Amino acid sequence: MVLHILRALFVLLMAAVGWFFVNHRAQPFGEYTWLAMAGTLTIAVFFICIDILSPRKKLAVFSGTFFGLIVGIAVAWGLSFVVRLLVDQYLPRLDPQDISYRRLAEQQEAMVQFLNMVVGIVCVYLAISFILQTKDDFRFIIPYVEFTKQLRGARPFVVDTSAIIDGRLVDIAATGIIDSRLIVPRFVLDELQLVADSPDKLKRNRGRRGLEMLNKLQSNRKVETIIYDWHGTMDADSTDQKLLALARELNGRLLTTDYNLTRVGQVRGVDIVNINELAGALKPVVLPGETLRLRLIKPGEEAAQAVGYLDDGTMVVVEQGRSHINEEVELVVTNVIQTSTGRLVFARLGGDAPPTVRNRSTERVEDKP
């Protein structure tokens, strides 16, 4: 919006300059008075086209406008000397004895004023536009002057939709372990609202849960949650691409539960924190030979097996435990297997001797009289 207003003011100022010199009594363009208006409008359209076609880069508006104005005026003032030299060099020298000397001198002076005003407006416009669209970590060579919407402190977490809907982030934040800001992009909030308004009941419930979790995060004083306005870049179309681009731009870490987004982010060099992987890393280590007390809740796939679950959701398969379903029993861990979905623990009933394999050939010999 600010850029649209800036461009409109730029065109109006250029048109005003052209109109001023159309009605100037010195008539620097002679009988071709329309050249002043046509030239200024052509220059305005030309530079706006260049500006629009250049890559979008965002910066803080007010500081960028202020410093852009200063830089533009300074550059225009410096170029005014160049304009004067060029006019003196390429326009014919005037003879003071000429009867039309005064009129021609006024024309040359009007031409210099015209060029200086055009150059000044162009320089101010380009300086402001450049700063408004410059990458966030752009800095002038001025100590302590920075135009970025700086996020100080520890590297922030950029939170995606899946991490908000998941809900575990709220519990993690409640512990106070997160000392970084949680950045929720505006387009993620829009996506949550869109899902919450879905005609599909399941999606609608997920969206409403996500909005509820986001509200809990914002009300949690142990962590700072920010709704971040970011309009993306020209090469970021999907939400995932925008998340990766924003995390890279803020030098932050992307917080998600999406497996595919995690892998894509790792390929692109973006730091990813997957809540599922974090939960897996925090699961207690169970070693063979340790004893557990566990309630068996259902039969296993094999005969006589029963299945129970640890507090963290790890499945425990118990040999010879089917007869103890719905009972809390003591177990001895016999093996732990790591799978793509997590850990799988095998155990036997506590106090039972380990199963032994008898040699059938020996049995046959012993059975003979």
Quote the pLDDT of residue 94: 57
* % of the chain exceeding 90 in pLDDT: 24
Asked whether the predicted pLDDT for residue 358 surpasses 70, the reply is: no
What would the DSSP string read from start to end of 290-356? -EEEEEEEEE-SSTT-EEEE-TT--EEEEET-GGGTTSEEEEEEEEEEEETTEEEEEEEETTPPPP-
pTM listed for this prediction: 0.47
Average pLDDT of span 264-278: 89
Which residues of the chain are in CATH 2.40.50.140 domains?
285-369
**CATH code that applies to domain 285-369:** 2.40.50.140
Quote the pLDDT of residue 158: 93
Give the highest mean pLDDT range of 153-167, 204-218, 299-313.
Answer: 204-218
Cα separation, 140 vs 67, in Å, equals 10
Asked whether the predicted pLDDT for residue 312 surpasses 90, the reply is: no
Cα separation, 34 vs 216, in Å, equals 64
Cα atoms in the 13 Å half-sphere on the side-chain side of 262: 13
Average pLDDT of span 68-76: 81
Mean pLDDT for the chain overall: 78
pLDDT-based confidence at 99, cuts 50/70/90? low
Q: What does the block give as tokens for 180?
A: 């970084």
pLDDT-based confidence at 161, cuts 50/70/90? very high
Quote the pLDDT of residue 24: 65
Residue 82, C-beta contacts closer than 8 angstroms, at least 6 positions apart: none
**Cα of 226 vs its chain's centroid, Å:** 12
Cα separation, 269 vs 291, in Å, equals 43
Beta-ladder partners of 331: 292, 349
The CATH architecture annotation of domain 157-281 reads: 3-Layer(aba) Sandwich (3.40)
Quote the pLDDT of residue 361: 37
Quote the pLDDT of residue 329: 93
Which residues of the chain are in CATH 3.40.50.1010 domains?
157-281
Asked whether the predicted pLDDT for residue 212 surpasses 90, the reply is: yes
Give the highest mean pLDDT range of 25-39, 74-88, 167-181.
Answer: 167-181
pLDDT in tens, 100-109: 656 667 777 7
Cα separation, 287 vs 334, in Å, equals 8
Residue 111 near residue 28, CB atoms below 8 Å: yes
pLDDT in tens, 273-288: 999 888 877 777 788 8
Q: What is the CA radius of gyration of the chain?
A: 37
Host H or E run for residue 242: helix 239-249
